Amino acid sequence: MLDFDEVIEVLEGPRSDERLGITRIRGKALSDGAVGWISVKGNQGTPFLKETPKPFYSCVAKIALEPDFKQQDGASVRMLKTDEVLEVLEGPRREKVGDIVRIKAKTCKDSSAGWLTVKDKEGDVFAEVAENGQYYICVVSIAMTDVQDIKACKVLRKLEVNETMRILEGPATEDSTGVSRVRGQSTKDNMTGWVTIKGNAGTVYAEENKQVYTVLRDVALHRKFQSDSEAVRTLAKDEAVELIEGPKEERSDALVRVKGRAVTDGAVGWVTMKDRFLGPWSPHYRCSNATVINDALSVKNAVTIRKLEVGETVEVIEGPILESSLDVMRVRARADLDGAVGWVTLKGNQGTPFLVCKAR
């Protein structure tokens, strides 16, 4: 089903079906490229389609023209300049995105605290809850030894209260002493050794920590909940963090993207629809500051045809095109007042606007 206000490019027709009393066209929906036959008007005269100019946009500011619908870091066909015009080939199309899932956590390595993304809007997972029994946390200070046998071991160092270790082996209960021991690796300094988690009288020295997440790939730890806030540091793959708050969803706005062809050089790509970057375009402009109509694109050797006064309107025949020597955009236009045809500068290299698009 076509939505209200969707734009269709006619590929074939209109063609009348006298038997049904309707007129049909074969068209392509710009929103998603779907092709098929559509009734222009019903047999009772109800209009479904009306003729409309092909959509064009002009660049309000510099914006990247990108090769694919899905944005990729660093990927760009080229930068579009201010006042360049883009012919719409496909879209506007809304990007399908999920919400970003974030947690507040404390790193087990150095106790740095902050927010990290566990799942981004594309569904990529950066951290996950550790498996049951994978991590233990010390509830009292306890020795880490070099071997399992308490009678034959040497103390490597003391584990502190609240220090977390990753379990490599065990728990195992010694028959001779009745104590329960694990072989673990401290998340603080990666030291590995044997630790008593429960004494023979039932005293608990370390217990399972079920609040630990394991980092699956490098990810930023941010100071605030917002994923674009300042980073504390980058968490490395396999690092462990202890949950403080969350998980919470950070709402992400779906981007609206348009595939277009630059009128200047025919470059094709995708741009993001934002009011501060793109505006509707038509070939009709109004003179906002007095300027001149020249006989050539290059200003250097151009001859003035006549002066263009404030309030006059023109229709673009060609362009906008970059005049590289002055780095300004120019159009070949016809003055509505007397039909004079020539080249006019849209905006001076100091930013003074001479022609303003009437579609804005």
pLDDT of residue 261: 95
Mean pLDDT is highest, among 155-159, 252-256, 273-277, for 155-159
Does one domain contain both 191 and 226?
yes
CATH at residue 60? 2.30.30
Tokens standing for 56?
A: 């064009």
What pLDDT was estimated at residue 177? 86
Q: Which position has the higher pLDDT, 245 or 31?
A: 245
User: Residue 299 belongs to what H/E stretch?
Assistant: none
Is the per-residue pLDDT at 325 higher than 70?
yes
How high is the pLDDT of residue 38?
A: 93
CATH code of 321's domain? 2.30.30.40
Please tell me the distance from the alpha carbon of residue 120 to that of residue 94, in angstroms, as a whole number.
18
Is the link from the previous residue into 67 a cis peptide, with omega within 30 of 0?
A: no
The arithmetic mean of pLDDT across residues 111-128, rounded, is 93
- Domain shared by 156 and 260, yes or no: no
- Residue 38 shares a structural domain with residue 154: no
Per-residue model confidence (pLDDT) at position 42: 83
Task: Please check whether residues 336 and 195 belong to one and the same domain.
Answer: no
pLDDT of 163 reads 94
High-pLDDT (> 90) share of the chain, %: 72
Joined together, the tokens standing for residue 191 give 């030291």
Nearest to 83 by CA among 323, 346, 351: 346
**Which residue range forms the structural domain that includes residue 37?**
1-52
Q: Are residues 61 and 110 in the same domain?
A: no
Query: Per-residue pLDDT for 307 more than 80?
Result: yes
Indicate the number of domains in the chain. Answer: 4
pLDDT band of residue 281 (cuts 50, 70, 90) is: very high
Domain match, 239 and 270 both: no
pLDDT at 94 over 90: no
CB under 8 Å to 135, separation ≥6 — which residues? 164, 165, 166, 167, 187, 208, 209, 212, 240
pLDDT at 187 over 70: yes
Lowest-pLDDT range of 29-33, 200-204, 235-239, 269-273 = 29-33
pTM of structure: 0.59
Q: Is residue 19 very low, low, confident or very high in pLDDT (cuts 50, 70, 90)? A: confident
**245 vs 255 pLDDT, higher one:** 245
Instruction: Give the chain's mean pLDDT.
Output: 92
- For residue 291, what are the β-bridge partners? 308
Q: Please say if the pLDDT value at position 72 is more than 80.
A: no
Same-domain check for residues 132 and 69: no
Residue 134 clears pLDDT 70, i.e. is over it? yes
To the nearest whole percent, how much of the chain has pLDDT over 70? 98
Task: Report angle CA 303, 307, 311 to the nearest 5 degrees.
Answer: 145
Same-domain pairing of 118 and 234: yes
Beta-carbon contacts of residue 230 (< 8 Å; ≥ 6 apart):
222, 223, 224
Q: Is the dihedral of CA 246, 139, 221, 185 positive or negative?
A: negative
What mean pLDDT do residues 211-219 have?
Answer: 96
pLDDT of residue 359: 79
Shared-domain flag, residues 344 and 289: yes
Per the model's pLDDT, the better-predicted residue between 360 and 17 turns out to be 17
Residues 63 and 161 in one domain: no
pLDDT at position 73 is 67
Instruction: Quick: pLDDT tens for 42-65.
Output: 888 888 999 888 899 999 889 999
- CA dihedral sign, ordered 78, 83, 89, 92: positive
Rama region for 74: left / alpha / beta (φ>0; ψ in -120 to 50; rest): left
Domain boundary among 232, 250, 268: 250
Q: How many angstroms separate the CA atoms of 348 and 360, rounded?
A: 19
Supply the pLDDT for residue 360: 65
Dihedral (CA of 172, 176, 179, 183) sign: negative
219 with 333, same domain: the answer is no
CB 196 within 8 A of CB 142: yes
| CA atoms of 41 and 51, how far apart (whole Å) | 12
How do strand 278-280 and strand 206-208 relate by DSSP bridges? unpaired
